[in-house]
Amino acid sequence: MTEPLHIIGGGMAGSEAAWQAAQAGIDVVLHEMRPSVGTFAHRTGNFAEMVCSNSFRSDDHERNAVGLLHWEMRAAGGLILEAAMAHRLPAGGALAVDREPFAEHVTARLRSHPRISFAEGEVTDLPREGHWIVATGPLTSAALAESIRQATGAQSLAFFDAIAPIVYAETVDMSVAWMQSRYDKGATHEEQTAYMNCPMTKDEYDAFIDALLAAEKTEFHPGETAGYFDGCLPIEVMAERGRETLRFGPMKPVGLTNPHSDQKPYAVVQLRRDNKLGTLYNIVGFQTKMKHSAQTAVFRMIPGLQNASFARLGGIHRNTFINSPSLLDDQMRLKSRPNIRFAGQVTGVEGYVESAAMGLLAGRMAAAQLQGRILPPPPPDTAMGALVTHITGGADARTFQPMNVNFGLFPPIEARGGRKGRKDRYKAYTDRAKDSFTAWLTV
Ligand X SMILES: Cc1cc2nc3c(=O)[nH]c(=O)nc-3n(C[C@H](O)[C@H](O)[C@H](O)COP(=O)(O)OP(=O)(O)OC[C@H]3O[C@@H](n4cnc5c(N)ncnc54)[C@H](O)[C@@H]3O)c2cc1C
List residues binding ligand X (CB under 6 A): 8-14, 31-34, 39, 41-42, 51-53, 122-123, 135-141, 144, 221, 224, 318, 344-346, 351-352, 355
What is the C-alpha separation between 46 and 103, in angstroms, rounded? 6
Between 55 and 279, whose beta carbon lies closer to ligand X?
55
CB of 341 to ligand X, least distance (A): 13
Task: List strand residue ranges (DSSP E) for 15-54, in order.
Answer: 28-32
**Measured from the CB atom, is 84 or 308 closer to ligand X?**
84
Q: Which is nearer to ligand X, 15 or 197 (CB)?
A: 15
Phi-psi region of 17 (alpha: psi -120 to 50; beta: other; left: phi over 0): alpha
What is the Cα–Cα distance from 374 to 397, expressed in whole angstroms? Answer: 25
- Phi, psi (rounded to 5 degrees) for 248: -105, 0
Q: For residues 224 and 114, what is the distance between their CA atoms, to the nearest angstrom?
A: 38
Question: What is the phi-psi region of residue 59: left when phi exceeds 0, alpha when psi lies from -120 to 50, beta otherwise?
Answer: alpha
Closest CB 349 distance from ligand X, rounded Å: 8
Q: Measured between alpha carbons, how far is residue 180 from residues 168, 174, 183, 187, 398 in Å?
A: 18, 12, 8, 11, 19
Q: Minimum Å distance from CB 365 to ligand X?
A: 16
Least distance from ligand X to the Cβ atom of residue 236, Å:
20
Least separation in angstroms between CB 216 and ligand X:
17
Nearest-approach distance from CB 141 to ligand X, in angstroms: 4
Min dist. Cβ of residue 245 to ligand X (A): 29
Q: What is the CA radius of gyration of the chain?
A: 22
Helix axes 12-23 and 352-370, enclosed angle (nearest 10): 30
Note whether 350 and 356 are within 8 A (CB). no
* CB-nearer residue toward ligand X: 202 or 221: 221
Nearest to ligand X of 24, 358 (CB atom): 358
Output 138 or 408, the one with its CB closest to ligand X. 138
- Residue 40 CB partners (closer than 8 Å, separation 6+): 139, 221, 222, 223, 224
CB of 301 to ligand X, least distance (A): 27
CB-CB contact of 71 with 49 (8 Å): no
Residue closer to ligand X by CB (options 103, 280) is 103
Choose between 224 and 236: whose C-beta lies nearer to ligand X. Answer: 224
Taking the complex as a whole, how short is the minimal distance between the CB of residue 74 and ligand X, in angstroms?
18
DSSP 219-268: PPPTTTTTT--TTS--HHHHHHT-TTTGGGTTT--TT---TT-SSPPSEE
Which strand (E) or helix (H) includes residue 178? strand 178-179
Round to whole Å and give the CA distance between 270 and 276: 18
For 7, the enclosing helix (H) or strand (E) is strand 5-8
* Cα–Cα dist 355/404, whole Å: 10
Please identify, using beta-carbon distances, which residue of 150 and 438 lies nearer to ligand X.
150
Sign of the dihedral through C-alpha 384, 367, 350, 326: negative
Identify which of residues 8 and 164 has a Cβ nearer to ligand X in the complex: 8
d(CA 279, CA 386): 13
Q: Minimal CB distance to ligand X: which residue?
A: 11
Smallest gap from Cβ 298 to ligand X, in A, equals 22
Smallest distance, ligand X to C-beta of residue 4, A? 16
392: DSSP letter: I
191 vs 216, which CB is nearer to ligand X? 216
